[in-house]
Amino acid sequence: MHPNFHFLNKLGNISEETFLEIANITEFKRLKAGTQLIKHGEVPTKLYFLVGGVVRCYVTTEKGKEFNKSFYLQNHFVASLTALVTNKPSKFVFETLTDCKIYEVDYHKIKDMCKTNLALSNLNATILEYVYINYEKRLLNLITLDATERYLALRKEIPDLETIIPQYHIASYLGITPVQLSRIRKKIEAR
């Protein structure tokens, strides 16, 4: 059976039949680095499952400054969830940082399938719980940890962080400047 079946089955205990139903409405894509999955102001209709590569989610201020909200790695679901659920334009951009392999599925087709498939509905709820838990964890880190602690937590979460994500993106995610990040890294290396 497909490795993604085992991953989804761990999350929601779905049958092979349900997995095949999902597979029938899913399209596999290889994307080059720099591809925008979701553009700012676009009303998204797709949900993505990342099987390889790195995607970032960011917002751009009126002055043109970018702030990274999230990084997505292998086996992560990628979506502008608020925009999908409300059917309104996305306030964020989702862009591939590296070449990526993804599965793309129409969100509304999945929602329709959830109406008649309890296992898929439960899987959907589990994924939403996972998204909320990660959101709350990120918010808690921003509120309670200093920049060094946030950096160390991110390194723990993404062990090969330094090799896959450029320093200026890491700094933006942490809410600091690249110079501050450089100082933090030097201080840690000196320990």
Domain ranges of the chain: 3-117
Topology (CATH level 3) of domain 3-117 = Jelly Rolls (2.60.120)
As given in the structure block, the two tokens for residue 123 are 């899987």
Report the chain's C-alpha Rg in angstroms.
Answer: 18
pLDDT at 10 (0 to 100): 62
- Report helix, strand or coil for 182: helix
User: Percent of the chain scored above 70 by pLDDT?
Assistant: 93
Do 96 and 57 touch, CB atoms closer than 8 A?
A: no
Q: How far apart are CA 191 and CA 2, in angstroms?
A: 45
pLDDT at 46 (0 to 100): 95
What averages of pLDDT result for each successive group of 10 residues across the chain (191 residues)?
58 75 89 97 95 96 93 93 95 97 94 90 88 91 95 93 94 95 94 83
pLDDT at 191 (0 to 100): 83
pLDDT at 102 (0 to 100): 95
